Chain A
Amino acid sequence: MNSTKKRIAFKTLGCRLNQYETDALVSDFDKGGYEIVDFKEQADVVVVNTCTVTNQSDQKSRNMISQAARNNQGSVVVVTGCMANNYKETLEGENKITYVVENNRKGSILNLVDAHFGGELLHPEKLEADVFQFNTVDKSLHTRSAIKIQDGCDNFCTFCIIPTVRGRAVSRPLPQIIENVEDTLANGFKELVITGVNIGRYEWEDKRFEDVLEAILNVPGDFRVRISSLEPDGFGNRLVDLFDHPKLTPHLHLCLQSGSDKVLLRMRRMYDYNRFKNLVERFRDKYTEFNFTTDLIVGFPDESEEDFQESLNAVSTFGFGHVHTFKYSVRKGTRAERMENHLPEKIKNARSARIRQASEENRSRYLSSFIGKEQTVLIETIDARGYATGYGEHYVPVRFKGKGLQKNTFQIVRITRIEGKGEQMRLVGEL
């Protein structure tokens, strides 16, 4: 390689798992002697970590690839992530892309790029395929680091492309996870986010998700643990009780997808409304302020007004702190693509707007309930005027001012009011 450092830029789209994988790549390249630059800057290598979960994410991924190629003429453009799996052949045929690397080989991108600059043109298929190959993140733009415990999913929900692009469910051996946790903590991270495609289905030897969670919580150190996103099936009281642990934050992103049992069945979800309700109630009975956030799909094929109303009611019944609303969009090759009675865009738009509004009202109500109370905030940013922002343990965004504040430290903040609207709404507090 040249004596001057090669410059590399990254762009990540989609889920937390992708973000985690980019973070690990950033670390790899940093250690490998590359200079990490912003995506907007000129670079010798650009890695676009794509997402394909909805049509919009496809479009965004395409735009980013074009932008990367346009801004960096003659540079190496590496496209990876779920879109690379789903549209491999098409992407490989595009001149502006140098390499298309599938998810299972993502961890070896440094080898590929090193080889490229060394004059060896490797085909990505020659790279080692291992979904857990990523090294511990040590240089990242975040104070939170993800811990990948699992990859893939074979639930085959009828709307979802992920089983096709991420492959079968595989679980990372527990000793490896703990090693990764210890390394991550040694690198100074204060918040660990347990991540995977369907982490509730963790299965390694006789260990299940709760065992992994407990083992991570029992690692010594000053840190807290968050669970990224969970499918609401198959959890008993053990999970509820684990939240007694002071390191586990009282927040769960529990994907409901629809409030109608009919729709849930056609989505091939493994729970019904009452099961979901029961789980939420068990938590709230014990931890009254527990924050539940969720995903809802509106306008699933054949969703009647009545079905939709059940989703809408669910928003207020469960008092979600945040609802990620997805307008149903067809993913090729999924079962829902072949279902009858796909709804017109107009209906989907209208329903989606109604959910958003209900969700905002909820969010405002939920955030207001913190006024006068305390949150332990992990500082993520401090601006020039000395205002710090970060998340409280309930995964609520908080802004506050203080002297001598430092990034990546915990501060106990008394909440005084809320500010902002919609998605931007947040808590304001003081020390």
Chain B
Amino acid sequence: MSIELQQEIKIDESFYKVKEIRQLTDETFSLRLPKSRFNYRAGQHISLGIRGDYQSREYSIYSGENDDHLEVLVKEVKKGYFTPKLSKLKPGDLVEVSGPFGKFRIDEKKIADHKFVFIASGTGIAPFRSMVRTYPQLDYQLIHGVRYGNEAYDRHEYEQERHILCTSGDKTGKVHGRLTTYLKKASFDNNTQFYLCGNSNMIFDALEILKDKGFERDQIHCEVYF
């Protein structure tokens, strides 16, 4: 086996052509890549690079395990380094994918007799869309905290009664205010598995609230973005 051949295979495996870009708000978009041989579990993330740039960033996988593309949801951070570059990508451009990584996953054995509560801020909703699309039988509730109602990305995909949108900047959500305000008042069954994803401040506050309600740390799973 020659070394040249090995390298060729490697490049083929890790570089993907952008298939489609869905602009969801002014700042947020999704990148669709061909899934080809890439296997992942709902909730995992990938590391994404742009050809010719030495930096990379992690993104939760937004698509379900059985979808025919690999999709990520990205919010452009105006002062950020990477996302302004990502936002300039066009279909046909090459991105580098490595992964999948992470243990932020559903324990399939628990699906039959547990409830699942997903708590997300902003683009932290990404792994939950993947989970909901992958496990149609999941008994879940999705609590999504955003500033404005238009950030409820792909909201029509969730059953209305399972989707609790908390908007802190306008009154379009089911709940007006932060998701933590909602959490404090809400009650959950004992057999609930909690999944928290997004920024660390939200996760810290939500964890405290859940622990105060008597839930064990073992039933709370966290994915911290920043």
| Residues of A participating in the B interface, judged by any CB pair closer than 8 Å | 125-126, 154, 156, 168, 261-262, 265-266, 268, 270-272, 274-275, 333, 335, 338-339
Contacts and interface: CB of A to CB of B under 8 A. Distances in A.
Contacts of B226: 335, 339
Contacts of A333: 55
Given A262-B200, A266-B200, A275 B224 contact: no
Nearest to A271: B217
Q: DSSP majority for the B interface?
A: mixed
Nearest to A335: B226
B151 to A, nearest CB: 23
A304 to B, nearest CB: 13
Interface in B184-226: 200, 203-204, 207, 217, 222, 224, 226
A275 B217 contact: yes
Contact of A274 (B204, B217, B222, B224): B217
A271 B203 CA distance: 13
Nearest to B47: A156
A126 B2 CA distance: 9
A259 to B, nearest CB: 15
Contacts of B200: 262, 265-266
A268 B222 CA distance: 9
Interface in B64-108: 81, 101-103
B139 interface: no
A126 B3 contact: yes
Contact of B58 (A125, A156, A272, A274): A156
Contact of B101 (A154, A266, A270): A154
Nearest to A275: B217
Contacts of A270: 103
11 contacts: A126-B3, A154-B101, A262-B200, A262-B204, A265-B207, A266-B200, A266-B224, A268-B224, A271-B217, A338-B81, A339-B226
Nearest to B2: A126
A338 B200 CA distance: 14
A189 B7 CA distance: 41
A339 B225 CA distance: 12
A338 B56 CA distance: 12
Contacts of A272: 207, 217
Contact of A154 (B3, B102, B207, B222): B102
B124 to A, nearest CB: 13
A265 B101 contact: no
Interface string B133-176: 00000000000000000000000000000000000000000000
Contacts of B217: 271-272, 274-275
Given A274-B217, A275-B217, A265 B222 contact: yes
A215 to B, nearest CB: 24
Contacts of B102: 154
A156 B200 CA distance: 15
B58 A261 contact: no
B204 A261 contact: yes
Nearest to B203: A265
